[in-house]
Amino acid sequence: MTDEAAFFAAVRSGDPARFALVTERHRRELRVHCYRMLANYEDAQDLTQETFLRAWHKRESFQGHAALRTWLYRIATNACLDFLDKRNDRTPVPSDLSGAELPYLQPYPDQMLPEDPQESAVARETIELAFVVAVQHLPPRQRAVFVLRDVLGWPASKAADALDLTVASVTSALQRARVTMRAQLPSRRLDWRSPATHELSRVERGVLKAYLDAHERNDVAGLTSLLRDDLRFAMLPDPGTVVTTAKEAVDGWVSSGLFQRGYDDWRGIATTVNRMPAAALYLRAPGDSEYRLLNLAVLHIADGKIAELTGFEVAGKPWLDLSSTR
């Protein structure tokens, strides 16, 4: 039975459980779509659920003129736009240090991505943190147009129908969005439409291992050697911690006491989020018998060095599937 035929059968049955079974297969890709619109995993979860609730209430309106997947994406996109219309805390916070920061940015756990490795909605280039942050600089409707057109590859007519816009409006919005995206993305990552990649490279795996080893050896010099001089470091959700040189970042870590004798017992786990290398860092404080999860460091590696390092406070985030102690 086709997706649409199964959906019609579920609608005719009036059975919410049967309806949920048909729509559930789209949950992961819709959650990625909502995340790209909102840059926050927990909000994306909520808006995906809202999408299914709206779909159930609007089930009789589905006529099969478009694919079920397209219909669900339309509902999800408009649910996100409604959410953004009601929130005034979803605008990048200006920072004197480096453009703007997103206090609400959250990492996306790779184990929650769609299982189909060919799914265009999760090409690595369009889910990396820098790309997701750049998208947030677009006004909401431009953001929706850009994601539908340039990320999902929808034709202008299809995007216009989803957003109740004219094709000319969609074309104009996309042109403006592309200008903003190219201004926001680092120059080394301007092409978000390059061939999809999913696995970490050998170099990325090596740098991640060296980063973890340096922490476990309390090797500040070794850690420094892994960083580009023009490192961009941010610790979220506090946008005030952004620094733009390796020296400034390391000096801050040392002065905060993280590498001082007696408070330097680290353990780490290599992982990935947003299809990027990441280190879950655990610290054992003096007198403690356990290593406790401190933060998650997400690395963007360029030319064998860490060019961007984004730290996240991850306590109370069970969806990341990280143990709180080691």
Whether residue 138 lies inside any domain: the answer is: no
* pLDDT (0 to 100) of residue 199: 77
Q: How far apart are CA 247 and CA 227, in angstroms?
A: 9
Q: What tokens does 87 get? A: 């929130």
* pLDDT (0 to 100) of residue 99: 43
Lowest model confidence (mean pLDDT) among 253-257, 258-262, 267-271, 303-307? 258-262
Give the strand pairing for 292-302 and 100-101: unpaired
Going by pLDDT thresholds of 50, 70 and 90, the confidence category of residue 102 is: confident
What CATH number is attached to the domain comprising 220?
A: 3.10.450.50
Angle at 293 between CA 289 and CA 298, to 5 degrees: 150
List, in sequence order, the alpha helices (H) in the chain. 3-13, 16-24, 27-38, 41-57, 68-86, 129-136, 140-146, 156-163, 167-184, 202-216, 220-225, 246-255
pTM metric for this prediction: 0.90
Tell me the Ramachandran region of residue 233: left when phi exceeds 0, alpha when psi lies from -120 to 50, beta otherwise.
beta
Arithmetic mean of pLDDT, 261-276: 85
Q: Residue 211 belongs to what domain range?
A: 202-320
How many distinct structural domains can be found in the chain? 2
Instruction: Using CB atoms within 10 Å of the CB of residue 221, give its burial: 0 to 12 exposed, 13 to 18 middle, 19+ buried.
Output: exposed
* pLDDT (0 to 100) of residue 274: 94
124-178 tens-digit pLDDT? 788 999 999 999 999 999 999 999 999 999 999 999 999 999 999 999 999 999 9
Whether residue 150 lies inside any domain: the answer is: no
Q: Where among 88, 118, 141 does a domain terminate?
A: 88
Whether residue 152 lies inside any domain: the answer is: no
What CATH number is attached to the domain comprising 66?
A: 1.10.1740.10
Whether residue 38 lies inside any domain: the answer is: yes
304-318 tens-digit pLDDT? 999 999 999 998 899
Give the strand pairing for 227-236 and 305-312: parallel
Arithmetic mean of pLDDT, 37-43: 96
Q: Where among 57, 88, 119 does a domain terminate?
A: 88
pLDDT at 97 over 50: no
Whether residue 293 lies inside any domain: the answer is: yes
Arithmetic mean of pLDDT, 85-104: 64
Phi, then psi, of 25 in degrees rounded to 5: -65, -15
Angle at 323 between CA 216 and CA 226, to 5 degrees: 30
% of the chain exceeding 90 in pLDDT: 59
Residue bearing the bigger pLDDT, 142 or 188 = 142
* pLDDT (0 to 100) of residue 123: 72
Residue bearing the bigger pLDDT, 115 or 195 = 115
Computed on alpha carbons and rounded to an integer, the radius of gyration of the chain in Å comes to: 21
* pLDDT (0 to 100) of residue 254: 81
Q: Where among 88, 107, 128 does a domain terminate?
A: 88
- Residue pair 307/228 in contact (Cβ under 8 Å)? The answer is yes
* pLDDT (0 to 100) of residue 150: 92
Whether residue 164 lies inside any domain: the answer is: no
Lowest model confidence (mean pLDDT) among 140-154, 231-245, 272-286? 231-245
Taking alpha carbons only, the member of 114, 129, 123 closest to residue 150 is: 123
Whether residue 191 lies inside any domain: the answer is: no
Cβ-Cβ contacts under 8 Å for 267 (sequence gap 6 or more): 216, 281, 282, 284, 291, 326
Residue bearing the bigger pLDDT, 49 or 114 = 49
Q: How far apart are CA 86 and CA 251, in angstroms?
A: 40
Whether residue 189 lies inside any domain: the answer is: no
